[in-house]
């Protein structure tokens, strides 16, 4: 081979350089550029004297706070067209809801033209499905029964925080890239209705290794300006029922723990921008339980397989979390199931680039419409015409699940204790007997509550649902109003994946990535497969619109998937669901006034901490308190642990921290006296000098609210 001249070498190196550049451009070109923004804001409503939303257990009324709740918002937009964008709001709440979504949309509309691109069509409001936050913020009457109505303060905390998170996301919009990676998590969920799941066809079940969806999907947001990550949105299916129905401290359950651990880890990560937002969002949650040791009778024998009873009774069959022997209302299990989502997520994040798929198509699309489920007739894929019905709940609904008693289990208040529930006393006479047509439509469901036909004094449950899909590049998000069971989610995702390819929604050379978010936008209970429905366990009994609900949801989304094609228009909005915010009943008494016991002042320390503790011990301080409903202290804290660092008090823990617990108790109803215990379950803190700090707000007889604060004496913690 002839030797090259200097000029030849130059030409060669230029060519090599150009080729390299081309290759690089090709790689960069693969990853599309989007507008991205993230935000996070406190949504912790009244932590005491309000019933928790989720288990609908009449006596589960808040007595304090373990961990604050947040809204985390993500905005994705097309760089070339500001109108093509969507907002994904992940709320640490039991579910999305019509009242809350109306409130968010009203508030966005009031922000003026800059926010006019966000509306019905492209805002998704998704709940993490936790069961230990204050309730009384929902649009329909049924979930209001155990919460004694609708509480303006509880509702506003969620709406205001969600809007604040969306504003932060909007104000932080910048160019960036998105990529998706998945991993399998095998120790954080279990199927709680295996008997129903097994009624799905054997050939279909054989396609999967598990009876729960074990896929964790992470969407990473990386901004272009400095290459730092601003957030992750993580889908994984597991009920937020680690904390049991007898826990009365507000928490965001296992997903709140995962979010906390991930955001704390990112605070020190070189790859993460300041204000990094990690949202763990809910997926095919319907039959997926965090009680991974299975369900057992209180006497230690297994519950009946078919109907989860012990000697024919449902009440004594309970799911057990990984740490059920801790006898701490599920709190240790809750942390552990959170950690079991955090750890694989962190590992995925740290190895992300080697396994991720970049989103490569710059288009961003979303559609939403309302659909009347009562009397919706449509054709199954084999041509047979079927219909969905007005909402109804079956008998198994009252029995609840192995994760806890039935949500809205107000049958407990049915006789004898009616006086205990003033709202039930008002509405119990309004129960409807289902018509023959409704019985036939819902068969084989034995109807317990014909909620879809009950509209007095206002609608009890939704008959109109939100139908919504979001798309960015080849990622498609199914936004479901009902809790989707494992197999329902698989069928729905398959149908969307197939349709997205067939209808050219995604480019021919990429595979669509499909995820399910549920429960979102409203609360339409469950969606089970027709085969699971036939079994009528809890999830089937709570599939509101009859046996064909899942095929209907699939039909509605698949038929409209063309709206996700770049440049397509929008579907008609449909008939809006009723807005019950102004007409809802409210039997929740407000705070009358606070006053300290005779001879004391607000903030006086009734019980000081000991002077020293060993790491691992619990430190308690008791203060003369006031009702925390006087001021929710959103974005602030009721309690803090401070450490003396070079003689300067430095906050080391606040209301967000899992191991700092705030407990409020009324000690004299007439006088309005109360006390607060700030309790720190120390793990392995740095040895040093610490104190407890309590922040309160008291209300006088005229209604004026005044803030106060107080600190305990110093205490030292020695090493282990
Ligand atoms: C997850 O599990 C499924 C089923 O066993 C398997 O096909 C897939 O490759 C796994 N995914 C990852 C990322 O390990
Ligand atoms: C539950 O299933 C058992 C069989 O496992 C049966 O004996 C019992 O009658 C069932 N109970 C109810 C309430 O359906
Ligand atoms: C709380 O509920 C769980 C599950 O039902 C039960 O195992 C536990 O004993 C209860 N704890 C208390 C203190 O009542
Ligand atoms: C949905 O149902 C309608 C009405 O029966 C039918 O025309 C359409 O083909 C169905 N769409 C899909 C995707 O199955
Ligand atoms: C179509 O499918 C449904 C649901 O599997 C079934 O009930 C029906 O019998 C089928 N119709 C025909 C004509 O095969
Ligand atoms: C509810 O009441 C508020 C305040 O009075 C009012 O501005 C609003 O229009 C009402 N909304 C509906 C849907 O009636
Ligand atoms: C600390 O306070 C909590 C909450 O009131 C209470 O449950 C716990 O028993 C107390 N622990 C100690 C060690 O006093
Ligand atoms: C408590 O600790 C602070 C900070 O180290 C110190 O300034 C103060 O003197 C201590 N108070 C008492 C009573 O020891
Ligand atoms: C495959 C699988 O996940 N099976 C579990 C489903 O849940 C039951 C208890 O409800 C377990 O026993 C199975 O191991």
Q: Are 104 and 172 in a shared domain? A: yes
Give yes or no: residues 317 and 241 share one domain. yes
C-beta 304 within 6 A of ligand 2 = yes
Question: What average pLDDT does the segment 288-308 reach?
Answer: 92
The reply to whether 15 falls in a domain is no
> Last residue of some domain: 564, 594, 617?
564
- Please report the DSSP string for 215-227 in residue order: EEEEEEEEETTT-
The answer as to whether 74 is a domain residue is: yes
Average pLDDT (127-145) is: 96
Whether the ω angle into residue 519 lies within 30 degrees of 0, i.e. cis, is yes
**Rounded percentage of the chain residues whose pLDDT exceeds 70:** 94
For the segment 591-619, the average pLDDT, to the nearest whole number, is 97
Mutate-to-test residue for ligand 5 from 201, 204, 378, 382, highest number of ligand atoms within 8 A of CB = 382
* Residue 546 in domain: yes
Residue 409: what pLDDT? 43
Q: Which ligand has its closest atom nearest to the C-alpha of 306?
A: 2
Question: Could you tell which of 618, 625, 667 is best to mutate to test the pocket of ligand 7, judged by most ligand atoms within 8 Å of the CB?
Answer: 618
Q: Which ligand is nearest to the CA of 537?
A: 2
The pick from 199, 201, 380 for probing ligand 5's pocket by mutation, whose C-beta has the most ligand atoms within 8 angstroms, reads 380
Q: Quick one: pLDDT at residue 420?
A: 62
Q: What CATH number did the domain enclosing 663 receive? A: 2.60.40.2300
Examine the pLDDT at 187 and tell me if it is beyond 80: yes
Q: Quickly tell me which residue has 């419409």 as its tokens.
A: 369
Query: What is the full DSSP assignment across 401-464?
Result: BTTBSPTT-GGGGSSS-GGG-HHHHHHGGGPPPPPHHHHHHHTTSPEEE-GGG--SSS-SS-SE
In a domain, residue 548? The reply is yes
Q: Give the residue, by CA position, lying nearest to ligand 9 atom 7.
A: 191
* Closest ligand 9 atom number to CA of residue 193: 10
CA of 114 to the centre of ligand 4 (A): 38
**Separation of 443 CA from ligand 2 center, angstroms?**
20
Phi then psi for residue 235, to 5 deg, are -95, 130
Answer positive or negative: Cα dihedral of 110, 114, 117, 123: negative
Q: How far is the CA of 355 from the centre of ligand 1 (A)?
A: 12
Q: Kindly give the residue spans of alpha helices, DSSP state H, lying in 185-247.
A: 194-197, 202-205
Nearest Cα residue to atom 13 of ligand 5: 384
Ligand nearest to the CA of 529: 5
Both 156 and 294 in one domain: the answer is: yes
Considering only CA atoms, which residue is closest to atom 13 of ligand 6? 579
Same domain, 558 and 625: no
Distance from residue 368's CA to the centre of ligand 5 (Å)? 29
Stretch 197-202: mean pLDDT: 98
**pLDDT, position 720:** 61
Residues forming a β-bridge with 680: 619, 660
Does some domain include residue 192?
Answer: yes
For residue 532, is pLDDT > 90?
yes
Length of the chain as a residue count: 720
The finding on whether 274 has its CB within 6 A of some atom of ligand 8 is no
* Token pair listed for 409: 């289990």
- 678 located within any domain: yes
Q: What is the pLDDT of residues 543-568, one digit of tens each?
A: 999 999 999 999 999 999 999 999 99
Q: Kindly give the number of the ligand 2 atom that is closest to the alpha carbon of 314.
A: 13
- Both tokens of 231, joined, read 């957030």
DSSP 506: S
pLDDT at 151 (0 to 100): 97
Determine whether the annotation assigns residue 129 to a binding site: yes
Residues 473 and 338 in one domain: yes
647: Cβ below 6 Å to ligand 8? Answer: yes
Q: What is the pLDDT of residues 209-260, one digit of tens each?
A: 999 999 999 999 999 999 999 999 999 999 999 999 999 999 999 999 999 9
Find the 539 Cα to ligand 2 centroid distance in Å. 17
- Tokens 């990529």, residue located: 179
Flag whether the pTM goes above 0.85.
Answer: yes
pLDDT in tens, 80-94: 999 999 999 999 999
Question: Are 143 and 204 in the same domain?
Answer: yes
29 in Cβ contact with 214 (< 8 Å) = no
Tell whether 183 and 48 lie within a shared domain.
yes
Catalytic residue among 289, 488, 517, 679: 289
Give the distance (Å) from ligand 3 centre to CA of residue 319: 11
Question: What are the phi and psi torsion angles at 658 (to 5°)?
Answer: -55, -40
Same domain? For 532 and 656 the reply is no
CA-closest residue to ligand 8 atom 14 = 714
pLDDT score at 604:
98
Instruction: Tally the domains of the chain.
Output: 2
Please spell the DSSP secondary structure of 90-131, one letter per residue.
EESSS---HHHHHHHHHHHHHT-GGGTT-STTTEEEEE--BS
Task: Give me the helix-helix angle, 98-110 and 152-171, nearest 10°.
Answer: 50
Residues 560 and 633 in one domain: no
> Sorting pLDDT into bands at 50, 70 and 90, what band is 368?
very high
In tens, the pLDDT along 494-531 reads: 999 999 999 999 988 899 999 999 999 999 999 999 99
Annotated ligand binding at 502? The verdict is no
Q: Which atom of ligand 4 is nearest to the CA of 558?
A: 13
Q: In sequence order, what DSSP letters do the residues of 553-616 get, joined into one string? A: HHHHHHHTGGGGSTT-------PPPP--TTT--B---------PPTT--TT-EEEPPPSEEETT
Strands (E), 591-681: 605-607, 612-614, 618-625, 639-645, 648-653, 660-668, 673-681
Q: Report whether residue 385 contacts ligand 5, using a CB cutoff of 6 Å.
A: no
Domain-ending residue, one of 546, 564, 582: 564
The verdict on residue 396 lying in a domain is no
Regarding the beta carbon of 306 and ligand 2, being less than 6 Å apart is answered: yes
Bridge partners of 618? 681
Residues 649 and 519 in one domain: no
Q: Please write the tens of the pLDDT for every residue from 6-37.
A: 444 455 454 554 554 444 444 444 799 999 99
Question: 632 and 536, same structural domain?
Answer: no
* pLDDT one-digit tens code per residue, 392-419: 999 888 778 888 865 444 433 233 344 4
Q: Which of 535, 564, 593 is the last residue of a domain?
A: 564
Q: Which domain holds residue 315?
A: 31-371+462-564
**The two three-digit tokens of residue 448, written as one number:** 């317990």
Letter string b/e over residues 41-75, b meaning 16 or more CB atoms within 10 A of that residue's CB: bbbbbbbbbbbbbbbbbbebbbbbbbbbbbbbbbb
Instruction: Give the binding-site residues of ligand 6, using a 6 Å CB cut-off.
Output: 579, 582
482 catalytically annotated: no
Q: Which two tokens stand for residue 625?
A: 């308190």
Angle of CA points 486, 492, 493, to nearest 5°: 90
How do residues 300-344 score in pLDDT, each as one tens digit?
A: 999 999 988 888 777 788 999 999 988 899 999 999 999 999 999
Ligand 2 nearest-atom number relative to CA 304: 5
Looking at the CA of 377, which ligand is closest?
A: 4
Q: Is 483 annotated as a binding residue?
A: yes
Q: Is the pLDDT of residue 365 over 50?
A: yes
pLDDT digits (tens, 9 = 90+) for 38-77: 999 999 999 999 999 999 888 999 999 999 999 999 999 9
List, chain by chain if needed, residues with CB within 6 Å of any ligand 9 atom: 190-192, 194, 210-212, 294
The reply to whether 89 and 192 lie within a common domain is: yes
Q: Which of 55, 241, 246, 296 for a ligand 3 pocket mutation test, highest count of atoms within 8 Å of Cβ?
A: 246
Identify whether the C-beta of residue 104 lies closer than 8 Å to the C-beta of residue 139: no
**Residue 405 falls inside a structural domain:** no
């Amino acid at each position: 081979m002839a030797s090259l001249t200097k000029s030849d070498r130059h030409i060669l190196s230029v060519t090599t350089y150009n080729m390299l550049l081309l290759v690089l451009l090709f790689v960069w070109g693969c990853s599309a550029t989007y507008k991205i923004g993230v935000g996070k804001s406190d949504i912790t409503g009244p932590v005491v004297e309000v019933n928790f939303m989720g288990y609908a257990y009449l006596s589960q009324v808040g007595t304090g706070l373990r961990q604050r709740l947040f809204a985390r918002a993500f905005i994705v937009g097309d760089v070339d067209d500001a109108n093509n964008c969507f907002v994904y709001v992940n709320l640490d709440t039991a579910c999305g809801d019509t009242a809350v979504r109306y409130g968010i949309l009203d508030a966005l509309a009031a922000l003026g033209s800059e926010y006019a691109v966000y509306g019905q069509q492209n805002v998704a409001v998704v709940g993490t499905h936790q069961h230990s936050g204050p309730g009384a913020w929902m649009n329909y009457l049924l979930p209001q029964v155990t919460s004694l109505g609708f509480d303006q303060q509880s509702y506003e905390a969620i709406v205001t925080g969600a809007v604040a998170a969306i504003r932060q996301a909007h104000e932080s919009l910048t160019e960036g890239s998105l990529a998706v990676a998945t991993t399998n998590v095998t120790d954080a969920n279990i199927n709680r209705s295996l008997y129903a799941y097994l009624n799905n066809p054997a050939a279909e079940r054989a396609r999967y290794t598990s009876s729960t969806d074990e896929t964790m999907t992470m969407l990473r947001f990386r901004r272009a300006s400095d290459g730092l990550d601003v957030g992750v949105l993580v889908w994984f299916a597991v009920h937020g029922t680690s904390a049991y129905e007898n826990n009365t401290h507000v928490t965001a359950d296992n997903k709140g723990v995962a979010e906390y651990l991930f955001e704390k880890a990112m605070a020190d990560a070189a790859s993460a921008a300041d204000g990094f937002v990690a949202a763990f969002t809910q997926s095919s949650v319907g039959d997926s339980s965090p009680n991974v040791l299975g369900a057992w009778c209180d006497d230690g024998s297994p519950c009946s397989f078919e109907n989860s009873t012990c000697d024919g009774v449902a009440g004594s069959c309970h799911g057990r979390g990984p740490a059920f022997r801790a006898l701490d209302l599920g709190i240790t299990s809750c942390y552990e199931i959170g950690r079991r989502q955090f750890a694989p997520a962190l590992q995925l994040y740290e190895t992300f680039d080697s396994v991720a798929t970049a989103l490569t198509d710059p288009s961003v699309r979303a559609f939403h419409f309302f659909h009347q489920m009562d009397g919706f007739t449509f054709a199954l894929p084999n041509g047979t015409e079927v219909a969905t019905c007005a909402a109804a709940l079956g008998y198994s609904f009252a029995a609840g699940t192995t994760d806890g008693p039935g949500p809205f289990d107000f049958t407990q208040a049915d006789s004898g204790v009616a006086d205990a529930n003033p709202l039930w006393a008002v509405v119990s006479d309004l129960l409807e007997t289902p018509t023959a047509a409704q019985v036939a439509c819902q068969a084989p469901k034995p109807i317990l509550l014909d909620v879809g036909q009950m509209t007095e004094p206002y609608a009890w449950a939704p008959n109109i649902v939100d139908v919504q899909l979001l798309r960015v590049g080849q990622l498609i998000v199914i936004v479901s109003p009902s809790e989707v069971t494992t197999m329902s989610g698989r069928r729905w995702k398959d149908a969307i994946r197939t349709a997205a390819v067939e209808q050219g929604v995604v480019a021919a050379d990429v595979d669509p990535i499909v995820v399910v978010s549920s429960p979102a936008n409203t609360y339409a209970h469950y969606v089970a497969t027709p085969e699971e429905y036939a079994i009528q366990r809890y999830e089937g009994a709570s599939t509101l619109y009859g046996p064909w609900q899942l095929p209907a949801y699939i039909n509605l989304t698949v038929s409209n998937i063309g709206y996700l094609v770049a440049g397509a228009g929008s579907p008609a909005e449909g008939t809006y669901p009723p807005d019950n915010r102004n007409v809802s009943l409210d039997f929740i008494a407000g705070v009358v006034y606070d006053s300290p016991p005779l001879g004391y002042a607000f903030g006086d320390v009734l019980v000081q901490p000991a002077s020293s503790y060993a790491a691992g011990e619990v430190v308690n301080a008791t203060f003369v308190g006031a009702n925390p409903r006087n001021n929710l202290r959103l974005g602030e804290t009721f309690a803090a642990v401070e450490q003396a660092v070079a003689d300067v008090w430095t906050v080391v823990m606040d209301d967000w921290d899992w191991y700092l617990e705030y407990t409020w108790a009324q000690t004299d109803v007439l006088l309005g006296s109360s006390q607060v215990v700030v309790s720190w379950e120390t793990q392995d803190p740095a040895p040093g000098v610490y104190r407890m700090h309590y922040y309160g707000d008291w209300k006088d007889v005229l209604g004026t609210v005044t803030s106060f604060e107080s600190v305990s004496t110093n205490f030292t913690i020695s090493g282990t």
